[in-house]
Chains A and B, each alone.
Chain A
Amino acid sequence: MAVSALRLPPGGLQRLGRRLGTVALTLLGLLALTFFIGRVMPLDPVLAVVGPDADQSTYDQVFKRMGLDQPMYVQFSYYLNDLLHGDLGNALLTGLPVVGDIKRVFPATMELATMAIILGTCIGIPLGVFAATRRGKMGDHVVRVISLFGYSTPVFWFGMMGLLVFYAWLGWAGGAGRVDLAYDGLITPVTGFLLIDSAMLGEWEVFASAFKHLFLPACILGLHSTAYISRMTRAFMLAQLSQEYILTARVKGLSERTVIWRHAFRNILVQLLTIVALTYGNLLEGAVLIETVFAWPGFGQYLTSSLLLGDMNAVMGCVLLIGLIFVFLNLLADALYQVFDPRTR
């Protein structure tokens, strides 16, 4: 079923071409907007490099070296030219290739986000379904309060409290960072995912330490996602459960489990996919606050500090990646729609 659903229909190539064109234009627009906003922001990357006490000749030299003496459109065209050759340029402040930086920080965030979204989905969906089937009863209220609490409490506060209880008091969780400091630098990154890399090398002590460090921030982010996903699942399920086909199914004498999971739940899968994909996208974009609390060397921290220092090459690289993530997740969700919803084929 899945394979036939993904097969291109007649005229599919044209549609795919149009789609890719739209994607390219979207990304170009995104880059242009970021570039020009970045240039008019009152931030001076030169000053970050030369320091506040440098004299004018040093300032002018670095200004020129960064290419900032060129008109904006020329700078942008250079950037695009490099981009077409697969080069995101060097971070203006450190001089390090942006691609290398992103390769280093993105897996850290992806590892965290993936764990969080798995937790959020595995807990959030059943909770939402549970609440919807007990509408107005105690179970529903409990789930709603948990959701409200999880969604409205700042993740930063959860992070601090989590560290206090599970790290400082109980010693169950690892502290800040991706791994105990004694193991820092022992694993040469292959995939960049510390759990995978340490398992591949058979370094089980490092694996255990990495897991201990990952679990708490992932749970906190997962709780946040759980709250959102469960609320949306509940709302979608309630809409389905009031439909006539559900009544028909019940009249036919189907078990409540079949009615809920085979009939109602199946029909909200498409909407849920969108919610989960977008939540995952948001998590990948960088959970800056949780990364700050847990000193997690991830994408969110990298993007924020680059932005604050006016390092536009790094910011553009990050924005491009975020754009690509959302485009990819949208395409994935569209493709999965075709799998789960025959009407979209």
Chain B
Amino acid sequence: MKVRTTLKACVLALALTTAPYSSIHAATPADQMIIGMSMNNLLSLDPAAATGLDVATIGANLYDMLVELDAKDPSKLVPALAESWKISDDGRTITFVIRKGTKFQSGNPLTAEDVAWSLQRVLKLNMALATTWKSYGFTAQNAEKFLRAPDAQTFVMELPEPTDPKLVLYTLGASPSAFILDRKKVMENDKNGDLGNAWLTTHAAGSGPFKLDDWRAKDSLLMSRFDGYWRGAPKLRRIIMRHMTESQSMRLMIERGDIDLAVGMSVSDIQALKGNKDVAIESVKRGTIYYVAVSMKDPKFADKRVRQAIRSLIDYEGINKTIMPHYGILHQRPVQSGLSATLSNPGHKLDVPSAKKLLAEAGHPNGFKTTIRVLSDPPFMNIATNLQSTLAQAGIEASVISGTGNQIYGAMRDRSFEIIVGRGGGGAEPHPHSSLRALAYNPDNRDEAKLTNFQGWRTSFFSPELNQVIEKAEVEKDPIKQITLYQDAQKIYDQQVGAIMPISQMIETEVKRKDVRNLISHPSATTRFREVYKQR
């Protein structure tokens, strides 16, 4: 009896999984867009405290920025709240002319004071997104001096340290920390001098095309059209984001037309939707890079030959062909692809005999034991397993330790790891410095320096020569010379076998209903819905 029931269940399961899914199609309202996505990492809507990509997308629709990066060509700056801007001859001052007549959703006029205050606030609060601004030399103490509004229509940003002003402009167009807040509204909700931080966790005070109606953590987020938007009211009346973590549920819902956009679906579900004529699958390239990193604090990996051996034991082709579709594309440079300074891939390949030879030269003819730390999510775990097997071919016995993001990157920040399979490298700004600063630059290698935001420091990779080239390139005014310097930096990194070995550049794949038009996923995650509509 039990056997018969089990057989019946198996037949039913087979029938269900192989049969075409849906014959009944529901439809979301024509003037609303419904998005299924995981909101697990959405902890605060305060632009100063935002972490992760989701909040950048949400904020980009609630707030405006001074400038925007073109979604199709992110290296192109587009005016937004700033009608125009001018960079001084010495490259140390950027003066913005603020658009007249713009109003916040509260009805308050938007002025240069709001702009200056919003940016000063990020530094004063010193939360997650202050880090980038601090790397340009801004501090809580100097913020008011260097970020100022001489009149209601002029905002002046003085750069405390020499840097490429274009890089700063990119940050203004890409980082959620550059969203402009309604100063009066926020300060009405200030609590014990927190500059409205607690209130802004669940509220918004912007001038963007959508108003925040409701946010229930790990449940849903509702936005509705702001009719007084300065560019004109958006076409959609409402945006609903629903917390969904189960990829197959999302697949069923997008097939039936109960959601319009599914973000974060598993590769198997995306593949299964390839033949569906009602949905479109679109990928967008992010600046972030998947990598294998070793800790040079470990004497084994401090030896260049061992790092070279590890680099030869990564099956770049296999990983990118079998694991990375919809996650990433082959990339082996510490600078994101697509920039004019990015060199073509150096062509590293899986080469076990060379790796064995290098290991023998380094005194490890029989390999050694080590650990690979990795996030327990795909594709990280799959990459780690692949790496484990190729390392074993050269006698390196690696055990895999999986964990959550904060366990894995926590160990990296503490410099207490051997090998990590991870993802990172800035890249929000389409500028080589953004990637190199995050992945390769390390101005002070001492433990007590605690430069935890630099992955170069985390891996103890310290190259004064490389640091010097990166610093020189950052302030080089001649664009041609600057490109050459950044290319030199990549060559040096490759020759010195940096501790972070890039394997793939991140792409994010989204599935949307075909009737959704004008939805262009932004490489820096500031995807805007103001032009989106449904063609029915």
Contacting pair A53 B131 (CB below 8 A): yes
Contacting pair B34 A292 (CB below 8 A): no
Nearest CB in chain A: distance from B267 CB, A: 18
Contacting pair B218 A53 (CB below 8 A): no
Q: Using A62-B127, A96-B217 as known contacts, say yes or no to A44 and B410 having CB atoms under 8 A apart.
A: yes
Contacting pair A169 B23 (CB below 8 A): yes
Is there a chain A Cβ closer than 8 Å to B5's Cβ?
Answer: yes
Complex interface: chain B residues within 8 A of A170 (CB): 24
Q: Identify which of B44-52, B104-112, B336-344 touches chain A.
A: B44-52
Contacting pair A175 B256 (CB below 8 A): yes
Contacting pair B243 A297 (CB below 8 A): yes
Cβ-closest chain B residue relative to A56: B450
Q: Using A54-B452, A57-B126 as known contacts, say yes or no to A184 and B5 having CB atoms under 8 A apart.
A: no
The CA of A272 and the CA of B107, in the complex, are separated in Å by 62
Is there a chain B Cβ closer than 8 Å to A47's Cβ?
Answer: yes
The CA of A114 and the CA of B12, in the complex, are separated in Å by 29
Nearest CB in chain B: distance from A331 CB, A: 32
The CA of A295 and the CA of B201, in the complex, are separated in Å by 23
Contacting pair A94 B22 (CB below 8 A): no
The CA of A164 and the CA of B413, in the complex, are separated in Å by 44
Q: Mark B405-427, 1 if CB is under 8 A from A, else 0.
A: 11101101100000000001010
Is there a chain A Cβ closer than 8 Å to B518's Cβ?
Answer: no
Nearest CB in chain B: distance from A50 CB, A: 5
Contacting pair A163 B220 (CB below 8 A): no
Cβ-closest chain A residue relative to B411: A42
Cβ-closest chain B residue relative to A164: B16
Complex interface: chain B residues within 8 A of A180 (CB): 258
Contacting pair A294 B217 (CB below 8 A): no
Contacting pair A53 B407 (CB below 8 A): no
Q: How large is the interface on A (under 10, 10 to 19, 20 to 34, 35 or more residues)?
A: 35 or more
Contacting pair A164 B131 (CB below 8 A): no
Contact pick for B452, options A56, A160, A177, A297, CB 8 Å: A56
Is there a chain B Cβ closer than 8 Å to A202's Cβ?
Answer: no
Is there a chain B Cβ closer than 8 Å to A24's Cβ?
Answer: no
Q: Identify which of B246-254, B315-323, B526-534 touches chain A.
A: B246-254
The CA of A61 and the CA of B127, in the complex, are separated in Å by 8
Contacting pair B409 A42 (CB below 8 A): no
Q: Identify which of A230-238, A300-308, A337-345 touches chain B.
A: A300-308
Complex interface: chain A residues within 8 A of B413 (CB): 47, 52
Contact pick for A185, options B28, B127, B214, B245, CB 8 Å: B214
Contacting pair B217 A101 (CB below 8 A): yes
Q: Considering the complex, which residues of chain B in the window 226-247 have a beta carbon less than 8 Å from any beta carbon of chain A?
A: 240, 242-246
Nearest CB in chain A: distance from B452 CB, A: 5
Q: Considering the complex, which residues of chain A in the window 51-68 have a beta carbon less than 8 Å from any beta carbon of chain B?
A: 51-59, 61-62
Contacting pair B240 A181 (CB below 8 A): yes
Nearest CB in chain B: distance from A103 CB, A: 11
Contacting pair B243 A167 (CB below 8 A): no
Q: Using A160-B248, A168-B256, A295-B242 as known contacts, say yes or no to A309 and B426 having CB atoms under 8 A apart.
A: no
Q: Using A43-B407, A305-B218 as known contacts, say yes or no to A53 and B424 having CB atoms under 8 A apart.
A: yes
Is there a chain B Cβ closer than 8 Å to A229's Cβ?
Answer: no
Residue from B40, B255, B410 with most neighbouring chain A CB atoms (10 Å): B410
Contacting pair B1 A168 (CB below 8 A): no
Q: Considering the complex, which residues of chain B in the window 245-276 have a beta carbon less than 8 Å from any beta carbon of chain A?
A: 245-246, 248-250, 252-253, 255-256, 258-259
Contacting pair B213 A185 (CB below 8 A): yes
Contacting pair B220 A185 (CB below 8 A): yes
Q: How large is the interface on B (under 10, 10 to 19, 20 to 34, 35 or more residues)?
A: 35 or more
Is there a chain A Cβ closer than 8 Å to B216's Cβ?
Answer: yes
Is there a chain B Cβ closer than 8 Å to A72's Cβ?
Answer: no
Is there a chain B Cβ closer than 8 Å to A74's Cβ?
Answer: no
Q: Mark A144-175, 1 if CB is under 8 A from B, else 0.
A: 01001100010000001101110111110001
The CA of A3 and the CA of B23, in the complex, are separated in Å by 57
Contacting pair A149 B5 (CB below 8 A): yes
Contacting pair B13 A167 (CB below 8 A): no
Contact pick for B222, options A44, A163, A185, A297, CB 8 Å: A185
Contacting pair B252 A295 (CB below 8 A): no
Contacting pair A50 B24 (CB below 8 A): no
Complex interface: chain B residues within 8 A of A96 (CB): 201-202, 217
Q: Using A51-B51, A297-B218 as known contacts, say yes or no to A95 and B451 having CB atoms under 8 A apart.
A: no
Complex interface: chain B residues within 8 A of A164 (CB): 16, 21, 252
Nearest CB in chain A: distance from B124 CB, A: 11
Residue from A43, A59, A169 with most neighbouring chain B CB atoms (10 Å): A169
Contacting pair A184 B220 (CB below 8 A): yes
Is there a chain B Cβ closer than 8 Å to A324's Cβ?
Answer: no
Q: Using A49-B51, A61-B126 as known contacts, say yes or no to A181 and B258 having CB atoms under 8 A apart.
A: yes
Contacting pair B22 A168 (CB below 8 A): yes
Complex interface: chain A residues within 8 A of B243 (CB): 295, 297
Contact pick for A295, options B213, B245, B404, CB 8 Å: B245
Q: Using A58-B127, A94-B44, A181-B242 as known contacts, say yes or no to A52 and B405 having CB atoms under 8 A apart.
A: yes
Residue from A48, A170, A177, A292 with most neighbouring chain B CB atoms (10 Å): A177
Mark A residues whose CB is within 8 Å of B: 42-45, 47-59, 61-62, 93-96, 101, 104-105, 141, 145, 148-149, 153, 160-161, 163-165, 167-171, 175-177, 180-182, 184-185, 292-295, 297, 301-302, 305, 308-310
Q: Given A58-B131, A164-B252, A185-B214, 17 other A-B contacts at CB below 8 A?
A: A42-B407, A44-B406, A48-B43, A48-B405, A48-B406, A50-B128, A52-B405, A94-B44, A94-B217, A101-B217, A104-B216, A149-B5, A185-B240, A292-B246, A295-B246, A297-B216, A309-B40
